[in-house]
Amino acid sequence: MSALSLLLSPLARLGAAVLGLCAATGRIAIFAGQTVSHLARPPFYTREFLHALFQIGWLSLPVVGLTALFTGGALALQIYAGGARFNAEAVVPSIVAIGMVRELGPVLGGLMVAARVASSIAAEIGTMKVTEQIDALTTLSTHPMKYLTLPRVLAATLAVPVLVAVGDAIGIMGGYLVGIARLDFNSAAYLRNTVDFLEPWDVTSGLIKGAAFGFIIALMGCYYGMNSARGAQGVGRATKAAVVAASVMILAANYLLTEVFFSA
Amino acid sequence: MIELHDVHKAFGANRVLRGVNLTIPKGESMVIIGGSGTGKSIALKSILGLVKPDQGQIIVDGQDVDKADRDAFLARFGMLFQGGALFDSLPVWQNVAFRLTRGTLKRPKSEAREIAIEKLRRVGLKPDVADRFPAELSGGMQKRVGLARAIAAEPEIIFFDEPTTGLDPIMSGVINDLIREIVVEMGATAMTITHDMSSVRAIADRVAMLHDGVIKWTGPVAEMDASGDPYLDQFIHGRATGPIEAVR
């Protein structure tokens, strides 16, 4: 190998990686567009949608609730310890509430749902692909995107904001429990501080983030499932890729939405 | 009648179909044989539109499949997949009646269930199987359920992809006989792909041998043994030596 090609080889690899990333982004964008376009075209599979709503929404409630409870408690301890450095311990209730509803509720809730739901959707659809169930759907005059993708994406887009709202409330409650049990806050004062400093937009922005994260989670699960390679290894890779992609996209989307909602 | 004219399909550098020409007359049972990886499944999936050929034309009853209304076109077909391809999340009767519970062929639920049970009975399964899930059934029972699903909407054309793969010889014989009976009874056009010679003799009116992406020989099943075609002879007698290269 010549010196020049040795010198250029890392650049070529970098270029190939960038091109690969652009191509994957394009494919995901087309997949998302096709999914949304099916919303306007009948038939709509209500039973599949309700089933997905139950699987994604109801069954994710324990994991989201527990995550929020412990996060709220830890947040109260951290803010109290940090606030004590400049005699600002009293801000604990308001910072816990704002931190939960604006950031930690949607992001941690989204990441927990991504781990639980994106993996399960990718594994289920990936297995359907390798066992020819998706081909079978087509031969039975049923569009796989209408039957599998749209109900899941719609259900996740609607269910995750509700999970975020429940998670917000439980997280604030976690902070409250730690506040009165460990940090000697007065119960009524803690609650008053929480409510007084919380604005409607704090809550609404978190719910909008939740809807965006729900869309991303189900879309990644469906995309990687539908494009799963053959065999157990192929399904395993699709599952892993779905969780990684959904998690990274949630964090990136969170930054972008925070810029849009709160930049001065 | 199904006609394939000069159908080509490649996956990257792998040219699977290299100009397939084949005619399946209406009401006949055509069996396509050939080694693993010779493109039998791709040919079948090309007809259904599950795979888009790179070149060539596929015509079903005088109509180019590319120009046909997709739903109406697929409503004429039934297909038995190699592994059954039953939907794990649905009970057996809903698998069988899948087409009858949604879309243009939708029937009331009770009627769809009745038809499903009747079709299950036709393939030798008792009505109590209807409420079980596919994972609770043996391989042979899953094939029968797949067969019941393929015939549930009384299709004009039925495809069978490796119908006896993974079954013991006795169950293979049962499935072969069922396929033959059902195809004759319904007067359907059938296309089967297999490398099981007992299936070929039980199911076929005509046989086509696919090798290297082209049809090497086609003719009535009765003429298969005396064809004189070296590819067909090697295949049906299972010889390791001959024009078909066997990797050892």
Cα-Cα-Cα-Cα dihedral sign, residues A219, A225, A228, A233: positive
Q: Which of A114, A152, A72, A94 is closest to A253 using CA atoms?
A: A114
Residue A189 has pLDDT above 70, yes or no: yes
Distance CA A27, CA A219 (A): 12
What's the rounded mean pLDDT across residues B140-150? 92
How many other C-beta atoms lie within 10 A of the C-beta of residue B6?
A: 14
Contacts of B123 (CB under 8 A, 6+ apart): B144, B145, B147, B148, B178, B182
Tell whether B110 is covered by a domain.
Answer: no
The total number of structural domains that make up chain B: 1
Considering only CB atoms, B87 lies closest to which of A133, A139, A141, namely A133
Question: What pLDDT, on the 0 to 100 scale, is given for residue B248?
Answer: 60
Structural domain boundaries, residue B27: 2-85+156-237
What are the residue ranges spanned by the domains of chain A? 44-259
Distance CA B210, CA B23 (A): 13
Considering only CB atoms, B83 lies closest to which of A45, A132, A140, namely A132
Cβ of B75 and A141 within 8 Å?
yes
Tell whether B119 is covered by a domain.
Answer: no
Nearest CA to CA, how far is A127 from chain B (Å)?
A: 10
pLDDT tens readout for residues B43-52: 999 999 999 9
Tell whether B120 is covered by a domain.
Answer: no
Question: What pLDDT, on the 0 to 100 scale, is given for residue A7?
Answer: 81
pLDDT tens readout for residues A203-212: 999 999 999 9
Contacts of A186 (CB under 8 A, 6+ apart): A180
pLDDT tens readout for residues B212-238: 999 999 999 999 998 888 989 999 888
Q: Which of B134, B27, B46, B47 is closest to B85 using CA atoms?
A: B134
CATH number where B175 lies: 3.40.50.300
Q: Which of B122, B145, B123, B121 is closest to B133 using CA atoms?
A: B145
Nearest CA to CA, how far is B231 from chain A (Å)?
A: 30
Nearest CA to CA, how far is A135 from chain B (Å)?
A: 7
Model confidence at B103, in pLDDT bands (50, 70, 90)?
confident
HSE-CB of A30 using CA atoms within 13 angstroms: 6
| B-chain residues near A138 (CB < 8 A) | 48-50, 74
| A-chain residues near B102 (CB < 8 A) | 43, 45, 142
Question: What pLDDT, on the 0 to 100 scale, is given for residue A1?
Answer: 61
Distance CA B245, CA B242 (A): 7
Cβ of A132 and B45 within 8 Å?
no
Cβ of B74 and A141 within 8 Å?
yes
pLDDT tens readout for residues A138-176: 999 899 999 999 999 999 999 999 999 999 999 999 999
Model confidence at B247, in pLDDT bands (50, 70, 90)?
low
What are the structure tokens assigned to A90, written together?
Answer: 């009293």
Interface of A with B in 131-150 (CB under 8 A): 131-133, 135-136, 138-142
Establish if A231 touches chain B: CB-CB under 8 angstroms: no
